[in-house]
């Protein structure tokens, strides 16, 4: 079949002639050919607007997505009085972003509208708190009380994040801020996965991973916590040398660490110019039970199919077992049994070795 994109630039008469002659048929882009759990979906934009979970489910159905791990955005973009146009994205102007805890309520209410069958396809996480505020743990506890049976974990916690860090009102958010310790202790106690975004370095410093020590401090402090390191710590204009070797060493050294392939880590490192890097194929096979995959859409659900389709050139190079792990099994293992765990008071039990 001839894909729609190959017909761009042809006039209508030529397109009609091709189709009518039977030489081509248009193939809609319906997502990856491999069924998956999309492990990185933002259901609101930076204005805290959402098209709703019914729209999300519709686009999941059209993109071969069985389930989705969803979160919102802990910040919203201010429309300053001197700006003539309202911003839609955090980079649209120089106005600040500020923390917006109502984001969790917005999405919890949307989730409650879903049918019980569709609720089983959604794994919502809590993220509407200031990670530099020692009161943040109270917000998480409050959400579990207000919306029992909704939550599957915590995240995506936005910490060091290129320009967003500089635009966000308040202290610099970083993963080793002591305000996050009660949250990590809470997650560890109830075996909840925690999804975090913490850049491995800062913009324009590409000769070393400047903030790697912050990440490793927490990995050493909370070795049993299941942390998902979003985008492998990369962001716009953020890079460090020997990236694959660094990620490999982290996965070897810290068994609680997971990573996700989403956003620009895939396009700029793993599969640059749509060519899979053999080293990353090797790493993926080696750590196939510790990797997730996702679209990282921000409220624009219609892009899920297009984004996830681009993974196919990489996924088809993997063994069937590895592909099934990163597309389905790992997300299912991390998130499928976490609802109602906190509400039931069921904490993890560790064997007494003494």
Residue pLDDT, tens place only, 21-31: 443 343 445 79
CA 57 to chain centre: 17
Share of the chain above pLDDT 90, in %: 66
Give dist(CA 160, CA 172) in Å, integer. Answer: 8
Residue in 186, 90, 183, 53 with CA at minimum distance from that of residue 128: 183
pLDDT band of 7, cuts 50, 70, 90: very low
pTM given for the model:
0.87
Least reliable range by pLDDT among 11-20, 180-189, 233-242: 11-20
- Domains (ranges, CATH) in the chain? 1-30 (no CATH), 33-344 (3.20.20.140)
Give dist(CA 294, CA 277) in Å, integer. Answer: 19
Give dist(CA 318, CA 34) in Å, integer. Answer: 12
Give the position of tokens 């196939």: 288
Tell me the H-state helices in the chain.
Answer: 12-20, 53-62, 102-113, 116-119, 136-146, 162-167, 181-190, 212-221, 243-253, 264-265, 278-286, 304-309, 312-315, 320-324, 330-335, 341-344
Choice between 45 and 138, residue whose per-residue pLDDT is larger: 138
Give dist(CA 101, CA 119) in Å, integer. Answer: 22
CA 299 to chain centre: 13
Summarised one tens digit per residue, pLDDT across range 64-101 is: 999 999 998 989 889 998 888 888 888 888 888 888 99
Segment 135-163 shows an average pLDDT of: 94
Instruction: Give the pLDDT confidence score for residue 349 in this predicted structure.
Output: 80
Residue 279 has pLDDT above 60, yes or no: yes
Instruction: Give the pLDDT confidence score for residue 17 in this predicted structure.
Output: 52
């Amino acid at each position: 079949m001839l894909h729609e994109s190959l017909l761009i630039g042809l006039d209508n008469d030529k397109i009609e002639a091709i189709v009518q002659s039977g030489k081509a048929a248009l193939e809609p882009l319906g997502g990856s050919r491999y069924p998956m759990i999309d492990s990185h979906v933002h259901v609101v934009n930076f204005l805290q607007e959402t098209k709703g979970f019914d729209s999300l489910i519709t686009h999941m159905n059209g993109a071969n997505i069985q389930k989705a791990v969803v979160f919102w955005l802990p910040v919203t973009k201010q429309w300053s009085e001197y700006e003539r146009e309202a911003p839609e994205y955090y980079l649209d102007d120089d106005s600040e972003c500020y923390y917006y805890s109502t984001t969790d309520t917005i999405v919890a209410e949307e989730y409650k509208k879903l049918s019980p069958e569709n609720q089983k396809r959604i794994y919502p996480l809590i993220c509407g708190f200031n990670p530099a505020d020692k009161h943040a743990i109270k917000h998480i506890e409050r959400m579990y009380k207000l919306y029992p049976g909704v939550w599957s974990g915590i995240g995506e916690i936005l910490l060091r994040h290129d320009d967003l860090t500089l635009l966000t009102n308040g202290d610099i958010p970083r993963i080793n801020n002591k305000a996050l310790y009660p949250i990590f202790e809470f997650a560890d106690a109830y075996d909840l996965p925690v999804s975090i975004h913490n850049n491995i370095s800062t913009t324009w410093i590409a000769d070393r991973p400047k903030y790697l020590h912050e990440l490793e401090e927490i990995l050493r402090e909370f070795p049993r916590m299941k942390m998902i390191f979003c985008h492998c710590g990369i962001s716009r204009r953020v890079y460090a040398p020997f990236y694959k070797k660094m990620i490999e060493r982290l996965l070897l050294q810290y068994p609680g660490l997971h990573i996700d392939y989403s956003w620009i880590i895939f396009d700029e490192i793993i599969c640059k110019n749509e060519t899979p890097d053999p080293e990353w194929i090797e790493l993926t096979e080696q750590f196939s039970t510790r990797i997730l995959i996702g679209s990282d859409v921000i409220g624009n659900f219609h892009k899920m199919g297009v984004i996830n389709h681009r993974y196919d050139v990489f996924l088809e190079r993997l063994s069937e077992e590895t592909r099934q792990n990163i597309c389905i099994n790992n997300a299912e293992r991390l998130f499928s049994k976490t609802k109602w765990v906190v509400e039931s008071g069921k904490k993890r039990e560790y064997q007494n070795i003494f």
